[in-house]
Structure 1
């Protein structure tokens, strides 16, 4: 009766563990090996109950033989489990152990077997019995040696604690089984009727169960880990296999990718076009389109098991859209500061040089209409009223220019009192009208409240063409000087009939201005002297 009680307790525990392992089985080799080992033990336990009869029919002999094989292969199954647990590849030592164990099982048939005896597997020969028991225990002893060796080599304190449970439980189980099945019956003539064997199994199961809980390699705490570390991680996490298919994905990753329908089995490249399984990314930035808008992601990827070529990879993604857009905005603001004349709010000469003077030859065939403006007698105004008044006039003139700028026009402060407006894809009549409106606005400015009868006027030169902008500037500047020479405060359209002297004067003045970006207007008398 005691035997059945102990059997029921141990069997119930074993079935609980077996069911748990089976329901949580995966491609993990440790899980699979442990499941095989448990299966061998459970088969042996079930057959041990039916082996008590003296049935020597064909069916009875089959049951007894299977019982015999399952019992004598327990140590091999355990050795397989230990190999997988310490991540050691099956080597010649393993296969030698399997071969020796198999040959020893077969050698048992060289001795008389009485299948009507429930303890038929035992030998009464005093010399042979301990030797065979030792041989059957060798795989388990070797497994213990591997566990101890791994224990000595590892520096992981948690793993050391788990290994201690494993080899203590294994050692006690092996010791009790040898005492129960061979030493007591052979040397002392005592038959324990499997009491001690079941007790050994119980000890072994309890120790290995504790080790499983601590090791977590059978995912006993996987639900906690999955929810706390995976689902609720501050990073978007995706586990991807070699075929670029998603194995698992957490909620934040779905949120970042803005797709709640992403499931296991979907291709990651459907959502991140630039993804490459072979690349181990380290904060690599990619751009995706989600919900019709561009998003910027930082991705990091590494192999989960570096020793396994087919190992899945852990892909972590972070949404850096806000930071990237802020950085772009800051860069644009910085570029704007370097491109904008802080005094007038128009583009500065450096902007003009970067965008129009450095252009490729094939881009110079676009249709442009260009205005070159100069404030009449601005040097005299500065000399008489002072530079603060001159600065105020420059701002007022710039406001008049801005009011007439269309979307296809750029206003530029070209020099001290000179302005350039470039129109793209505009008709000359349209631009001429804009020039006249700017000129009239400037002339209508009222400074009487502060500066008496001060009146401001512009001389404007206008040119149309597809030539390089440098050439258009020379022509527009020449047309502007024709406005000045013919009475000022007017707009003149460039004509090829201007004489060579005026062309030389305008050209010389243009190139001298390259070294006087914001200086006063170059004195015409100096050019004439030149």
Structure 2
């Protein structure tokens, strides 16, 4: 039998069904220090994700009674993963609407704030209002479905809703739509959007049309909710929980991608390894909250000092690493020196305690120094320790098999 030493721990998340706990996700670690805030978030998000899926099973199964609709809508669910983009989901819903309904205009809109919505998808007539257009939900027919949390079905909207526009006054001038069917989209139990079908004729949408569009609206809402949870899990898995920059595992993957790309395009790239000088004194003298503040502030300074295309990651406790793409050491040396200078001039101020910090940096270049990932990082690391050996607050450079 396994013997517990006292340092083991478990973290878990409940799985709920109809407001009752029905299960849990449990993860074991052989030492409590291995569990980071990021890991706790991932477990919690996974629990929320499973709970969300289970809460919708009954309703989805009860609605999917027609085998024809069942097969097509089920395919939509199967096509979703954490890398699905919203626009791809809208395109898939548009394709189903085109298959299921006869209409002259399809629109999918989502709230962007408390007063306005934006069109995310448009099919059919687009000259009146198109993708990206915004409209005020007050006084609009499509906004009415949002505000009143109800489906709207009419064969002559101008007679039935005399004081409202379809979207806005401009959208009603050129085209005379008549029949309208709008259903709300729920995301995490809140009305966040609509799907609307419109016809130029007064041929009415019937009960089966409304029931099917409500099913599609529910499906879209569920999928958008799931994608949100997927993204939370993914973001937590690749970002450092304290600083928000990439974590070490994500950096390793990104480093491989950037080196492969540089190799294909015959470009250079440079990496910079950073380590805060004498950081231990901060934790010892002022406590770990101050140390966390210093690390977060340092990460922000480094992020603000590079381009959007460059990559910033936390590599260890007080270590950071940066990829500068499409450049070499000679061209970006001043960038590293500026970052070291920015750290040294920054007033770290937390709980009315001010300190100054310095940082040591080491640079290496692909492919001039090496074409191997591990070797490149090792060279930058050795160059960084050469900076520390010389007193810190300095940038050193790997050059072939030496450090300067």
Same fold (TM over 0.5): no
- Which has more strand, going by share of residues? 2
Per the normalisation by structure 2, the TM-score is 0.43
Per the normalisation by structure 1, the TM-score is 0.34
Higher relative contact order (CA 8 A, sep 6+): 2
- Which has more helix, going by share of residues? 1
CA radius of gyration, larger in: 1
